[in-house]
């Protein structure tokens, strides 16, 4: 990939003297910033903008290792062949008219792919805006050359954007407002070859990038993307567009059908430590905060000191901290004593630290510097949010000293800024240059601080590269031997037991007498179920009879379900589990991320809350516990109405066992454990469906 980011020479195929054309803008951008060889190619011109124009790709001199192509789509395949013959290995196709336009464009893009594979080329695009590298002043794009006049601000955030015009919008917005710099912006378009994974791997190893933001509409190689994010040491922020439930249409189990609305992507990203955004501005702000935040010390939980000039703003900040899972720090006696030196005698010292009386007594510089030094030195403070007003109220501070204090303490300092337009913009730029992230909305300030702590916490929750076992345990292999398709409930739970998942006591009864005898052994009440080959939804067929508390009730239930299932079915008798909490647990294969597991609240909560979480398999113990913690209703698991709390370690064991079994055996298509009842704190599988791939598929 070096020929895209560090080319020695660039052939521009489609260069033109027409200032209204993209080929002209690309050339102007190259001439303004790229120090290597620049070779315009167009047989209609001898020179453009004072640079010799060459008649063909074959006539381009050395060194040249990259080409930018901006010509009509129909001419591109022949041009790619010419580049291959010339020995140019990296090609950015910025022309449109390919797969995004319909069948003819798809066929044209397929031709390009075939040429690429035949010659071993790398192709970026087509239908993209290429690369802008603000650090090195490389603009390999038809972005308007006015970006140079508006200020190509270098920064530490790099972006990968699937939409070309959106990438241009990011650049224009960032530069004209002047409130955030970028390192590299990569517009990837149709992703014929070079995709988000290729670029993410480069940027995660790029010393000029501290955080990566992505806007993606698809993640075809989800498994590679997941591995890169989980192994990476830099924050990654993802805004995912095009979430669709269509992937669930072919799913048979409840588990897999719940996965089709983007929840698998969200679960996989949470597991990999990716911060997820909901809109474009938020994505940029999250990237900015994460790129500028210091590494947090072990044990930092988000205890925050609030330095404000307004009591109301301090109260709102406290509310937002609580909303985002952070806390208002309890200040130490030493910190309170230091703050008392700048407060008037009548003013009590609290957090939020209302500095306006201290400002009136001592001036803003002394009040703010004393307060920031004190709270930054407090071992009970993990981070600071500071409110600043620019342009009035005598709130003039020496920002360089404030930034130095934060750097020396190694704790995050985020600023919420208000003020007049020009004064606030100047203040924003100054603080940004000093390495302090600034926000114009108080909600966003606390949201971004929360993201900093979530990302660092996720690093501790991330497992390593968990290897799947090479095969199933022998009892599990025996349970599946010769089977295919949908297993009935009893056989499904036989498989679960063989991989170490606890299942309810049950018995396949030949008739009422055996069923009554079993009920006498395990105790009433019991459940009677009718099992039919391939039948997943027993309740809808009237095959489930609950709360059977007498031998007569068991006898009648067995006869009733036996009449429905006939000679091809079986009758199953179970001890009826007693538990207030029901869960859903399952395994399936996601088309993007491969083997995956799901955990959700079941029973009366399933439809009301729609609370579920997903993760990529296999899991280790740390990841399984983190998955449990991602349920929105996790407090329910702490026990209801005096019931004992869920044994989370036992549930984690089930998730690990299920994930390892699914990852080890490709023939396992889906597993649905519904419900997984929490009985005396211990989860036990009460009903289950195992679906195997058909042998012929």
CA distances to 230, 429, 679, 690 from 449, in Å: 21, 20, 39, 43
Element (DSSP H or E) covering residue 76 = helix 76-86
Of the candidates 371, 385, 450, 449, the residue with the CA atom closest to the CA atom of residue 417? 385
For the entire predicted model, the pTM comes to 0.89
> What does the pLDDT look like over 348-384, one tens digit per residue?
999 999 999 999 999 999 999 999 999 999 999 999 9
Residues 396 and 311 in one domain: yes
Q: Which residues pair with 548 in a beta bridge?
A: 526
For the chain, what is the radius of gyration of the CA atoms?
A: 31
pLDDT at 56: 97
Q: Is pLDDT at 455 greater than 70 in this prediction? A: yes
Helix, strand, coil percentages for the chain (3-state, nearest 5): 40, 20, 35
pLDDT at 106: 95
* Crossing angle between the packed helical segments 164-177 and 280-292, to the nearest 10 degrees: 60
pLDDT at 180: 81
Q: Is pLDDT at 303 greater than 80 in this prediction? A: yes
Residues 129 and 150 in one domain: yes
CB 695 within 8 A of CB 667: no
Q: Identify the band that residue 254 occupies on the pLDDT scale cut at 50, 70 and 90.
A: very low
Residues 610 and 561 in one domain: no
* Coil/strand/helix, residue 549: coil
Mean pLDDT of 249-262: 51
CA distance 485 to 404: 65
CA distance 7 to 4: 6
pLDDT at 463: 59
* Coil/strand/helix, residue 40: strand
Residues 655 and 558 in one domain: no
Residues 420 and 516 in one domain: no
pLDDT at 163: 73
pLDDT at 249: 43
Q: Is pLDDT at 169 greater than 90 in this prediction? A: no
Residues 180 and 233 in one domain: yes
Q: Is pLDDT at 245 greater than 70 in this prediction? A: no
pLDDT at 252: 44
> What does the pLDDT look like over 458-482, one tens digit per residue?
887 765 666 777 789 899 999 998 8
CA distances to 76, 353, 493, 553, 558 from 527, in Å: 68, 62, 16, 10, 10
DSSP 201-263: HHHHT-TT-SEEEEEES--SSHHHHHHHHHH-SS-EEEEE----SGGGTT--SHHHHTTTTTH
Neighbours of 424 (CB within 10 A): 19
Structure tokens at 188: 């990837």
Q: Is pLDDT at 246 greater than 80 in this prediction? A: no
- 253 in a structural domain: no
Residues 166 and 17 in one domain: yes
pLDDT at 606: 61
Neighbours of 697 (CB within 10 A): 7
First to last CA, the chain: 38
Residues 652 and 547 in one domain: no
Residues 571 and 599 in one domain: no
CB 40 within 8 A of CB 69: no
- 565 in a structural domain: yes
- 282 in a structural domain: no
Handedness of CA 360, 362, 363, 368 (dihedral sign): negative
Of the candidates 505, 620, 511, 638, the residue with the CA atom closest to the CA atom of residue 574? 505
Residues 374 and 442 in one domain: yes
For residue 547, give its domain range. 505-575
DSSP 376-443: HH-TT--EEEEEEEESSTT----HHHHHHHHHHHT--EEEEEEE-HHHHHHHHHHHHHTT--EES-HH
Q: Which is more confidently placed, 596 or 469?
A: 596
Assign residue 362 the CATH number of its domain: 3.40.50.261
- 510 in a structural domain: yes
Q: Identify the band that residue 248 occupies on the pLDDT scale cut at 50, 70 and 90.
A: very low
Residues 553 and 603 in one domain: no
Pick from 242, 260, 287: which residue ends a domain? 242
Q: Which residues pair with 288 in a beta bridge?
A: none
> What does the pLDDT look like over 426-445, one tens digit per residue?
899 899 989 999 999 999 99
Mean pLDDT of 642-648: 86
Q: How far is CA 594 from the centre of its chain?
A: 16
Assign residue 562 the CATH number of its domain: 3.30.1490.20
CB 214 within 8 A of CB 237: yes
> What does the pLDDT look like over 499-528, one tens digit per residue?
999 999 999 999 999 999 999 999 999 999
- 8 in a structural domain: yes
CA distances to 153, 181, 603 from 433, in Å: 11, 10, 54
Q: Give the least confident one: 204-213, 608-617, 636-645.
A: 636-645
- 544 in a structural domain: yes
CB 591 within 8 A of CB 221: no
Pick from 242, 263, 282: which residue ends a domain? 242
Residues 6+ apart with CB under 8 A from 503: 493, 496, 497, 684, 685, 686, 688
- 249 in a structural domain: no
DSSP letter assigned to residue 656: H
Write out 489-508 in H/E/C secondary structure.
HHHHHHHHHHCCCCECCEEE
Burial degree of 165 (CB within 10 A; 0-12, 13-18, 19+): exposed
Handedness of CA 195, 197, 202, 204 (dihedral sign): positive
Q: Identify the band that residue 535 occupies on the pLDDT scale cut at 50, 70 and 90.
A: confident
CA distance 40 to 27: 8
Give the total number of structural domains in the chain. 4
pLDDT at 92: 98
Q: Is pLDDT at 494 greater than 90 in this prediction? A: yes
Pick from 461, 494, 520: which residue ends a domain? 461
pLDDT at 590: 92
* Coil/strand/helix, residue 458: helix
Of the candidates 363, 374, 309, 380, the residue with the CA atom closest to the CA atom of residue 337? 374
CA distance 432 to 494: 61
Assign residue 631 the CATH number of its domain: 3.30.470.20
Structure tokens at 159: 């972006």
> What does the pLDDT look like over 543-575, one tens digit per residue?
999 999 999 999 999 999 999 999 999 999 999
Assign residue 198 the CATH number of its domain: 3.40.50.720
> Residues 453-466, buried b or exposed e (16+ Cβ, 10 A)?
bbbbbbeebbbeeb
Neighbours of 130 (CB within 10 A): 27
Residues 229 and 172 in one domain: yes
CA distance 328 to 344: 23
pLDDT at 696: 45
Q: Which residues pair with 13 in a beta bridge?
A: 41, 69
CB 30 within 8 A of CB 139: yes
- 67 in a structural domain: yes
Mean pLDDT of 383-396: 85
Please state, rounded to an integer, the average pLDDT across all residues of the chain. Answer: 90
Q: Is pLDDT at 591 greater than 80 in this prediction? A: yes
């Amino acid at each position: 990939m070096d020929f895209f980011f560090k080319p020695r020479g660039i052939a521009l195929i489609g260069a033109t003297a027409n200032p209204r054309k993209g080929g002209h803008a690309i050339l102007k951008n190259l001439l303004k910033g790229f120090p290597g060889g620049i070779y315009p190619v167009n047989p209609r011109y001898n020179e453009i903008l004072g640079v010799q124009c060459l008649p063909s790709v074959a006539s381009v001199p050395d060194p040249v290792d990259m080409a930018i192509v901006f010509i009509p789509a129909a001419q591109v395949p022949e041009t790619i062949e010419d580049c291959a013959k010339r020995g140019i290995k990296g090609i950015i196709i910025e022309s449109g008219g390919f797969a995004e336009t319909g069948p003819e464009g798809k066929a044209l893009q397929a031709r390009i792919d075939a040429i690429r594979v035949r010659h071993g080329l790398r192709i970026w695009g087509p239908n993209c805006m290429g690369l802008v590298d603000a650090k090195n002043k490389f603009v390999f794009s038809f972005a308007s050359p006015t970006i140079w006049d508006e200020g190509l601000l270098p920064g530490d955030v790099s972006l990968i954007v699937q939409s070309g015009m959106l990438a241009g919008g990011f650049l224009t917005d960032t530069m004209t407002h002047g409130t955030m710099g970028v390192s590299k912006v990569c517009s990837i378009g149709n992703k014929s070859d070079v995709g988000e994974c290729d670029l993410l791997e480069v940027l995660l190893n790029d010393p000029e990038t501290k955080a990566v933001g992505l806007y993606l509409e698809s993640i075809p190689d989800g498994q590679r993307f997941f591995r890169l994010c989980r192994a990476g040491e830099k924050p990654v922020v993802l805004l995912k567009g095009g979430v669709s439930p269509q992937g669930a249409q072919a799913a048979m189990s409840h588990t897999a059908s719940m996965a089709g609305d983007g929840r698998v992507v969200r679960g996989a990203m949470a597991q990999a430590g990716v911060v997820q955004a909901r809109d474009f501005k938020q994505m940029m702000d999250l990237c900015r905060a994460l790129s500028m935040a210091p590494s947090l010390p072990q044990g930092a939980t988000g205890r925050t000191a609030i330095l404000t000039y307004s009591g109301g703003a301090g109260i709102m900040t406290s509310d937002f901290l609580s909303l985002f899972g952070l806390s208002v720090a309890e200040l130490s006696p030493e910190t309170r004593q230091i703050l008392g030196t700048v407060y008037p005698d009548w003013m009590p010292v609290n957090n939020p630290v209302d500095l306006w009386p201290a400002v009136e007594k001592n001036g803003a510089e002394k009040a703010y510097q004393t307060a920031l030094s004190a709270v930054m030195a407090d071992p009970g403070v993990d981070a600071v949010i500071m409110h600043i007003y620019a342009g009035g109220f005598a709130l003039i501070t020496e920002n360089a000293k404030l930034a130095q204090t934060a750097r020396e303490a190694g704790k995050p300092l985020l600023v919420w800024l208000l003020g007049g337009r020009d004064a606030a913009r100047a203040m924003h730029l100054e603080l940004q240059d000093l390495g302090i992230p600034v926000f114009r909305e108080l909600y966003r300030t606390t949201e971004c601080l929360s993201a900093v702590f979530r990302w660092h916490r996720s690093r501790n929750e991330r497992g390593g590269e968990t290897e799947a076992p090479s095969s199933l345990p022998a009892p599990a292999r025996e349970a599946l031997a010769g089977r295919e398709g949908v297993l009935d409930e009893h056989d499904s739970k036989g498989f679960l037991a063989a991989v170490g998942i606890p299942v309810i006591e049950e018995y396949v009864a030949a008739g009422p007498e055996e069923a009554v005898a079993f009920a006498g052994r395990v105790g009433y009440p019991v459940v009677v179920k009718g099992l039919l080959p391939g039948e997943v939804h027993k309740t809808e067929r009237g095959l489930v009879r609950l709360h059977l508390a007498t031998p007569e009730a068991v006898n009648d239930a067995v006869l009733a379900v036996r009449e429905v299932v006939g000679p091809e079915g079986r009758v199953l008798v179970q001890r009826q589990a007693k538990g207030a909490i029901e869960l859903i647990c399952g395994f399936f294969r996601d088309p993007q991320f491969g083997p995956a597991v799901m955990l959700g609240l079941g029973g009366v909560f399933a439809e009301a809350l729609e609370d579920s979480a997903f993760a990529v398999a296999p899991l280790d113990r740390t990841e399984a516990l983190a998955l449990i913690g991602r349920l929105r209703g996790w407090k329910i698991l702490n026990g209801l109405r005096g019931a004992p709390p869920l044994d989370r370690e036992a549930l984690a064991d089930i998730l690990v066992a299920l994930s390892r079994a699914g990852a080890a055996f490709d023939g396992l298509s889906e597993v649905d454990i519904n419900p997984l009842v929490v009985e005396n704190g211990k989860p036990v599988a009460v009903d289950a469906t195992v679906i195997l791939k058909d042998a012929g598929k």
